[in-house]
A and B are shown apart, each in its own frame.
Chain A
Amino acid sequence: MKQSVFPSKVLPYILLLPTFIILIIFLFYPAFETFRLSFYKVNPYTNATKFAGLYNFKKVFFNPDYGHSFGISILFSLLVVMLGIIISLALSVLLNQNFKGAKIYRTLMIWPYALSPAIAGALFNFLFNPANGIICFFSGNYTWLTSGNSAFIVVALAATWKNLGYNIVFYLTALRNVPSDSLEAAAIDGAGSVKRFFKITLAYISPTTFFLFVMNTTYAYFASFGLIDVLTEGGPVDSTNILIYQLYKDFFVNSRIGYAAAESLVLFCIVVLITVVQFKTTGKKVHYQ
């Protein structure tokens, strides 16, 4: 097939222009402002600024609470990513079978993704709230959300559950694209279903797994503050106060603009670093067809 070519060199740029304008206004400009403001002291109301060098970064790094937040953020993202990927893969494999009502189940599984984090938080609050949560009642333990470790686990579970739908959509598509002749050939050679799954299916869907790895990491670091706000407000005693929640509070509630800008820059660097590491390590093991 002959490749079509743009008649002039200008046209592609004109066609790209709308995208660039939107990216500049909503992505590059705010990112640049964040970068700039992290080096300033900023008046919380008038936004008047005064250059402060590394003042905000020093405050961030010398704050013992920040180190704590950093630690639990790593733990939180590990939990959310691992649980999210394992559970959604298992569910996707089940959903990929042919059984009565499969389509309905597939649709239902995607639902949690359509909920806003605040609603998801409210649902988990029904289950775990210390006054009369349903799970509290049946488990006899009323302190799920008011004692540190269990609050952390509940929040991580809620974040995992909330993102299952997203993962399942991608895994279902990937599983449907695993060529059936490879599986049949393996079956004829005498490979059992478990072996077929681990040796063949897993390899075919590895690009999706890697993609979800990266996306879930970003999700765990950036998108979970709504849940935390509804369930624990970062408590008890900062045990669920992950970096993004602290950042949200420092900017939107406490109006510490320069400090929040520094925090967000640090968080940004952490996530970039993690993603690069993922590409360098796991990324190499991915098998693309």
Chain B
Amino acid sequence: MKKFLVLLLLSAMIVGNLFAGGQDEKEMAKAVEVDESAPVTIQFWHAMSGDRIDLIQSIVDKFVAENPNITVEVQYAGSYNDTLNKVKSAYKAGNAPAIFHSYEIGTLGMINSGLVSPVDELADKFNQSIDWDNFFVPVEGYYKYQGQHYSMPFNSSTPLLYYNKTLFEKAGLDPDNPPETYSEVIEAAKALKASGIEKPVTWNLHGWYFEEMIALQDAPFANNDNGRGSELPTEVLFNNEEGKKVFDWWIGMYNDGLFNDVGPGWSNHRAAFGSGEAAIILSSSSDVNLLTKALNEKGWEMGTGFIPHPEGSDGGVAIGGGSLWITNQLTEEQQLAAVKLVKYIANDESQKAWHKGTGYFPVTKSAMDSLDSEGWFEENPNYKTAFDQLLVSPGTLNSSGALLGVFPETREIVQSAIQECYQGKDTQEALDEAAKEVNDLITEWNELIQL
């Protein structure tokens, strides 16, 4: 009798499912039920050193206070590269952290790595909606791939032009009017040079600026929709007309003795700006605080402006920085906890605290509005520039920034090409050779990633 009942029940379930078919599709997509009060522990590995370790801890502490069933083990795992290498080893051993922090240029690699679950997928699974419209267009656009958001934006920045208002005035330039186009920068540099600054323009040797300057002209950096198409990118396009414009301008200033080559790294150009040896620099938007202080010490006033672009171009700035990824070896309770945590880190309160503590800009519009109504920008007008620059970015595939699996090497190769041009190589030739070298690496990467 019992057996019969079980059989009946089973067959009823099977038949029921057969007929339920299409009608239940919506039901299937409905949130997975997870006991939200069950105790759960997740690990969170990030790549922010110094004071930022405590700042991240304090944001997480607030999250834990609101979600007492969740325990979060936060760990600083070294640089972005160190973190990624540790995650890979931990994943192989089956104990990867629930959430880890990676840099923007690792995005295509992470998507194809097989280590992560897309944030959108998990958010849908647990009905934890994410209001992507509230994010700045370039931020949302950068982490969207094939219509899906793979990671949660966390620390975002863009390059910014910084200039010394006091030295501008001395050179007879308008201190409230930073140069915007390539020729305006050259004119300002000449005036500054005439006023006694030997090499008034500088920035560090970094491929990031070159990438941004191509995005600002709304030109592609890589093929297949700038690496965002349905096929993996197979070649880079930065040796195009727009790329040459950037090189010609940059190297031209170097050849005319207007630009000081300070090499790679992030300290030399800041030092040159702080000591007045340079009056116009490019640097990360997260340097506002640091550079304002450096100039104040000398009694100088600092201004900020957009990244220069050639006359008549209409692209937009792409973001840099990092985002938070959720790994795919988690229990459902852990997945839910991870989604809640990344959402919390991207909320207005956390992002405002993060912005004030680090200089990275908050990733959402509502956080910016809230800062605005607090009067933050009246006290810190230079922070506003980064937002204004973001707001005018059109969010096209080109201005969203390229995705490439071999981005770290691409930057090295581009930087080497720039140095070759300093030594007198033809800009087009250097670009073509660099592109060829990158293309070989892309071919290899596309094969390896499918193993």
Question: Could you give, for residues 378-413 of chain B, a 1 whenever the CB lies within 8 Å of some chain A CB and a 0 otherwise?
Answer: 000000000000000000000000000110110010
Known: A131-B277, A235-B205, A237-B420. A46 touches B113 (CB 8 A): yes
Check A42–B448 contact: CB distance below 8 A: yes
Cβ–Cβ contact A45 & B262, under 8 A = no
- Selected from A48, A237, A249, A254, the residue in CB contact (under 8 A) with B419 is A237
Residues of chain A with a CB closer than 8 A to B26's CB: none
How far apart are the CA atoms of A130 and B278 in the complex, in Å? 12
Q: Within the complex, which residue of A45, A48, A131, A145 is in contact with B202, where a contact is CB–CB below 8 Å?
A: A131
Nearest-Cβ distance from residue B283 to partner chain A, whole angstroms: 13
A162 smallest CB distance to B (angstroms): 19
CB A61 to nearest CB in B, in angstroms, measures: 15
- Which residues of the partner chain B approach A203 to less than 8 Å between Cβ atoms? none
Contact B448 A145 (CB under 8 A): no
Contact with A along B397-437 (1 / 0, CB 8 A): 00000000110110010011001101100000000000000
Give the residue of B263, B275, B447 whose beta carbon is less than 8 angstroms from that of A236.
B263
Q: Is the CB of B85 within 8 A of A146?
A: no
B321: which A residues are within 8 A, CB to CB?
A: none
* Residue from A42, A130, A131, A235 in contact with B416 in the complex, judged by beta carbons closer than 8 Å: A235
Known: A130-B260, A131-B262, A230-B265. A45 touches B114 (CB 8 A): yes
Chain A residues with CB below 8 A from B260, complex form: 130-131, 142
CB-based contact B81/A45 at 8 Å = no
Chain B CB count within 10 A is highest, among A48, A132, A237, for A237
Closest Cβ of chain A to B425, distance in Å, is 9
The answer, among B113, B262, B449, for a CB contact under 8 Å with A129, is B262
CA distance A246 to B233 in the complex (A): 25
Within 8 Å of chain B (Cβ to Cβ): is A232?
yes
Q: Contacts of B81 on A, CB cut-off 8 Å?
A: 252-253
The answer to the question of B65 belonging to the interface, with a C-beta cut-off of 8 Å to chain A, is no
Of the four ranges (under 10, 10 to 19, 20 to 34, 35 or more), the interface on chain B belongs to 35 or more
Interface 1/0 per residue, A201-230 and B, CB below 8 Å: 000000000000000000000000000001
Docked pose: A232 CA to B205 CA in angstroms: 10
A47, A131, A233, A252: the one within 8 Å of B269 (CB): A131
Output the nearest chain A residue to B199 by Cβ-Cβ distance.
Answer: A142
Task: Determine which of A42, A45, A50, A235 lies in contact with B263 in the assembled complex, contact meaning CB atoms within 8 Å.
Answer: A235
| Cα distance, A254 to B262, chains bound together (Å) | 25
Which of chain B's residues have a CB closer than 8 A to the CB of A249?
Answer: 412
B451–A131 CB distance below 8 A? no
B267 at the interface (CB under 8 A from A): yes
> What is the number of residues of chain A that contact chain B, defined by CB distance less than 8 Å?
34
Q: A131 and B271: CB pair below 8 A?
A: yes
CB 8 Å contact bits of B87-124 with A (1 = contact, 0 = none):
01000100000000000000001101111000000000
A226-267 CB contacts (< 8 Å) to partner B: 230, 232-238, 249, 252-256
Q: Is the CB of B263 within 8 A of A130?
A: yes
CB closest residue in chain A, given B261: A146
User: In the docked arrangement, what's the CA distance between A92 and B269, Å?
Assistant: 40
How distant is the Cα of A46 from the Cα of B96 in the complex, in angstroms? Answer: 13
Per DSSP, chain A at the interface is: loop
> How many inter-chain contacts with C-beta < 8 Å in the A-B complex?
103
Query: Which residues of the other chain, B, contact A30 by a CB distance below 8 angstroms?
Result: none
Instruction: Tell me the minimal C-beta distance from B251 to chain A in angstroms.
Output: 14
CB distance from A62 to the nearest CB of B (A): 11
Complex contact A42–B264 (CB within 8 A): no
Inter-chain contacts of A50 with B (CB < 8 A): 451
Identify which of residues 51-71 in chain B touch chain A, using a CB-to-CB cut-off of 8 Å.
none
Q: How far is the CB of A117 from chain B (nearest CB, A)?
A: 15
Give chain A residues whose Cβ lies under 8 Å from the Cβ of B412: 233-234, 249
- Indicate whether B445 reaches chain A with its CB closer than 8 angstroms: yes
Across-interface contacts of B92 in A (CB, < 8 A): 47
B338 within 8 A of A: no
Instruction: Please provide the chain A residues from 33 to 89 with a CB less than 8 Å away from any CB of chain B in the complex.
Output: 41-50
CB-based nearest B residue for A251: B85
A125 at the A/B interface (Cβ < 8 Å)? yes
CA distance A48 to B278 in the complex (A): 49
Asked if B272 CB lies within 8 Å of chain A CBs, one says yes
| List of B residues within 8 angstroms of A43 by Cβ | 448-451
Known: A44-B448, A235-B416. A131 touches B268 (CB 8 A): yes
Q: Once bound together, how far apart are the Cα atoms of A65 and B24, in whole Å?
A: 60
A45 touches B109 (CB 8 A): yes
Q: Can you show 26 pairs from A to B with CB atoms below 8 A apart?
A: A41-B447, A41-B451, A42-B448, A43-B450, A44-B405, A44-B445, A45-B110, A125-B268, A131-B202, A131-B268, A131-B269, A131-B271, A131-B275, A131-B277, A131-B278, A132-B275, A143-B261, A230-B265, A233-B265, A233-B412, A233-B415, A235-B416, A236-B263, A236-B423, A249-B412, A253-B409
Query: Interface residues, chain A, CB within 8 Å of chain B?
Result: 41-50, 125, 129-132, 142-143, 145-146, 148, 230, 232-238, 249, 252-256
Closest 3 CB pairs of A and B: A45-B113, A131-B272, A43-B451
- Extra pairs beyond A43-B450, A233-B415 (15, CB < 8 Å): A41-B451, A45-B114, A46-B114, A46-B115, A48-B451, A50-B451, A130-B268, A131-B275, A132-B275, A234-B412, A235-B415, A237-B419, A253-B408, A254-B409, A255-B109
